[in-house]
Amino acid sequence: MDYARFVRLRRPVWEKFEAQLTAARKGMSHAELEEMALCYRQVLHDHALSAARYPGTAAARRLRELAVDGTRALVGGRAEGSGGLVAFFTRTFPRAFRRQLPLTGIALALFLLAALWGLAITVLRPGLGIAFLGPEAVSGLAEGKLWTDSLVSTVPPAISSSAIATNNISVALSAWSGGILAGVVPIYVVLLNGLLLGSILGLTLQYSMAGELLAFISAHGLLEISLILVAAGAGLGIGRAVVLAGDRPRSLAVREAAQEALTVLLGCVPWFVVLALVEVLISPSHSLPASFKLAVGLSLEILFLTLATLPNRSLDTQT
């Protein structure tokens, strides 16, 4: 049997099993579970056949995912469904985060390229920095003052942190939801943020204020950039589903990618709140040494990555 005929004949079974997996999350009768188990055996057979005859194809990848999801639903679904938020942040989010790592890596590469480009053009053409910071901030640099000194000093910390968290989450939401436009928006968000960071760093170098800028962002900047890149990677996942749906219906591929991307985004939201508090209470403080701020920033980054990459034994043994 050739590949095209295999997909054409067996696709109805796969789509039926996908529908059963969706229904299983809401609860199924005993008869429905028996029917699902029968369909599951057919999927396992097709999975073995595709792995042997058509390795690396879209059908083989799809069947592998169906086999894993079916095993989880029929064998370990009840155990995974308990725990609420604890289960989400220790199992569901890390699993989705790990699957999105290649796309996050692409976002990181684009960000670094844009940052280097922004640094280079601003060092060569310092006048371009005014377009990013404005004349008032640049005049402050000429006087030895960072524009960050007045960011949060004029309003109460509660209001400042709320505004900062809202802004950062809005950027992440744009990167996530914009993935539906074939990934164009998350790429734009990554490139723009990289260009801004590189240009601002280049401009502060011109005024010998780069050390002060790095001291300011050391407590929150590393994790903030990481979260934006993770959200952008999730958006790229949606864009990939739009462009490369494989053998699945495009609407189904996009819906599944959006669900996984939303899981990643929700896992990042609490960290944006934490960062907002750090950016208000720690980053602008002149009484705290730069080494302490850097320690806070590194600790937050390590903690996030540790929790986001928690090993999942049930996933590892099935894959």
Are residues 48 and 63 in contact, defined by beta-carbon separation less than 8 angstroms? no
Asked if residue 54 is part of any domain, the answer here is: yes
Domain boundary residue among 60, 82, 104?
A: 82
Asked if residue 21 is part of any domain, the answer here is: yes
Q: Indicate whether 106 and 46 sit together in one domain.
A: no
Q: Indicate whether 137 and 41 sit together in one domain.
A: no
Q: Indicate whether 50 and 190 sit together in one domain.
A: no
214/115 Cα distance (integer angstroms): 14
Asked if residue 137 is part of any domain, the answer here is: yes
Q: Indicate whether 182 and 237 sit together in one domain.
A: yes
* Residue length of the chain: 319
168/293 Cα distance (integer angstroms): 20
Asked if residue 310 is part of any domain, the answer here is: yes
Alpha carbon distances (Å) from 223 to 173, 272, 275:
16, 9, 8
Asked if residue 162 is part of any domain, the answer here is: yes
Tokens 């005024």 sit at which residue? 207
At 165, list the tokens.
């968290």
Q: Indicate whether 222 and 195 sit together in one domain.
A: yes
Q: Indicate whether 78 and 193 sit together in one domain.
A: no
Domain boundary residue among 56, 82, 108?
A: 82
215/221 Cα distance (integer angstroms): 10
Q: Indicate whether 66 and 191 sit together in one domain.
A: no
Asked if residue 17 is part of any domain, the answer here is: yes
Neighbours of 168 (CB within 10 A): 23
Q: Which ranges of 84-146 does DSSP label H, i.e. alpha helix?
A: 85-87, 93-99, 101-124, 129-133, 135-142
Q: Indicate whether 224 and 157 sit together in one domain.
A: yes
Q: Indicate whether 124 and 239 sit together in one domain.
A: yes
Q: Indicate whether 126 and 259 sit together in one domain.
A: yes
Are residues 185 and 179 in contact, defined by beta-carbon separation less than 8 angstroms? yes
Domain boundary residue among 82, 104, 125?
A: 82
Predicted local confidence at residue 123, as pLDDT: 83
Residues lower than pLDDT 70 in the chain: 30, 34, 74-83, 129, 149-163, 165, 312-319
Domain region containing 48: 3-82
Alpha carbon distances (Å) from 153 to 58, 218, 279:
55, 19, 12
Burial zone of 313 (CB within 10 Å; 0-12 exposed, 13-18 middle, 19+ buried): exposed
Asked if residue 235 is part of any domain, the answer here is: yes
Asked if residue 88 is part of any domain, the answer here is: no
Q: Indicate whether 104 and 73 sit together in one domain.
A: no
Number of domains in the chain: 2
Q: Indicate whether 296 and 230 sit together in one domain.
A: yes
Residue type, 283: S
Residue type, 62: R
- DSSP letter string over 129-195? HHHHH-HHHHHHHHTT--GGGGSSTTS-HHHHHHHHHHHHHHHHHHHHHGGGTTTHHHHHHHHHHHH
256/252 Cα distance (integer angstroms): 6
